[in-house]
């Protein structure tokens, strides 16, 4: 029996492990993919306190090293559900068939940026394809970038990038912007912002001279395809939380996020939600770390 099981090894889950171990609680982290979550896609992070510049992979490695040094255990597996017994014991059932028991669970499963689903997209993440203007916008100062999407997230990205970049081209698959009117008006008033309506991204243009650098995207409008040469493309077509396995023990909002406030409590006693998987307005590494600390401290209080 473990004191606290943490589902997810992103910044929220890893921070929760640190705080839980400092409180002398036994900890098991269950992670299905790579340690570090979304931050591993950022080649350079410059907005994390104490780090002038650090790659997402390096920051993740440092967090994992700290967690392991403090005595937390890690299992590479995918949580498929949570059951709560009559004695309030939590059982985390994994896809491998393994079952782990704990007195408290912190869900820090994160949320993934929805991808375009085009060939070689993963190859260019961090070197032409980005999902976060706050994280990577400064690398494109004075350059031409594309923003894919037309909702609030895409429009906010476009506003932010317009202050840095020489030109921003929004590629929207519909014939209108779906974001809030006031935000759309703000974007359309920007002299260096152009909107291409009714277009979808079909492919990435790469340098064929041997460097394989990002050179732009191919967009399709109706039956016609055209090249959009740019220095980078910011994909903002939504986030996809992976909380379906936990809907029997938590309430999800219409977008699939666990309904929890800044206390990180869920509706089930002893189950907490931290990081990008819960309802919140700002999703950054710093806010995920904050959630991890809060969730762990409240889980410790619950156990005590």
CB atoms within 10 A of CB 212: 13
137: DSSP letter? G
Burial 99-116 (b: 16+ CB within 10 A, else e): ebebbbbbbbbbbbbeeb
Could you give the C-alpha distances from 5 to 64, 94, 185, 188, in angstroms and in order? Answer: 16, 12, 46, 47
List beta partners, residue 106. Answer: 6, 272
Phi-psi category of residue 240: left, alpha or beta, with phi > 0 → left and psi -120 to 50 → alpha: beta
3-state SS, residue 49: coil
Catalytic residue from among 3, 94, 136, 277: 136
CA distance 20 to 277: 19
Query: 136 catalytic, yes or no?
Result: yes
Query: 132 catalytic, yes or no?
Result: yes
Catalytic residue from among 132, 165, 230, 264: 132
The answer to whether the CB of 272 falls within 8 A of the CB of 298 is: yes
CA dihedral for 264, 261, 257, 249, sign (positive or negative): positive
Query: 264 catalytic, yes or no?
Result: no
Catalytic residue from among 77, 87, 123, 135: 135
Q: What tokens appear for 280 in the block?
A: 């919140």
Which residues are catalytic, by number?
Answer: 132, 135-136
């Amino acid at each position: 029996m473990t004191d606290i099981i943490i589902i997810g090894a992103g910044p929220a889950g890893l921070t929760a492990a640190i705080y839980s171990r400092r409180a002398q609680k036994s900890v098991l982290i269950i992670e299905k993919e790579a340690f570090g979550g979304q931050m591993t896609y950022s080649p350079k992070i410059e907005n994390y306190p104490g780090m002038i510049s650090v790659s997402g992979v390096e920051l993740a490695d440092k967090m994992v090293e700290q967690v392991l040094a403090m005595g937390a255990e890690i299992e590479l597996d995918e949580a498929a559900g949570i059951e709560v017994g009559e004695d309030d014991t939590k059982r985390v059932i994994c896809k491998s068939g393994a079952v782990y028991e704990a007195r408290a669970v912190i869900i820090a499963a994160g949320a993934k940026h929805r991808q375009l689903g085009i060939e070689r997209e993963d190859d260019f993440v961090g070197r032409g394809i980005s999902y976060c203007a706050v994280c990577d916008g400064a690398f494109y100062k004075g350059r031409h970038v594309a923003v894919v999407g037309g909702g609030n997230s895409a429009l906010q990205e476009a506003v932010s990038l317009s202050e840095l970049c020489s030109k921003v081209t929004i590629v929207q698959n519909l014939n209108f912007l779906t974001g809030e009117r006031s935000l759309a008006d703000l974007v359309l008033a920007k002299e260096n912002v152009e909107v291409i309506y009714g277009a979808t991204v079909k492919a990435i243009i790469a340098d064929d001279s041997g460097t394989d650098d990002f050179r732009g995207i191919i967009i399709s409008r109706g039956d016609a395809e055209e090249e959009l040469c740019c220095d980078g493309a910011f994909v903002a077509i939504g986030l996809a939380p992976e909380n379906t396995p936990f809907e029997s023990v938590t309430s999800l909002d219409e977008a699939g996020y666990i309904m929890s406030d800044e206390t990180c409590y869920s509706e089930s006693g002893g189950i907490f939600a931290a990081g990008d998987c819960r309802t919140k307005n700002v999703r950054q590494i710093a806010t995920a770390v904050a959630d991890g600390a809060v969730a762990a401290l409240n889980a410790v209080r619950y156990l005590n």
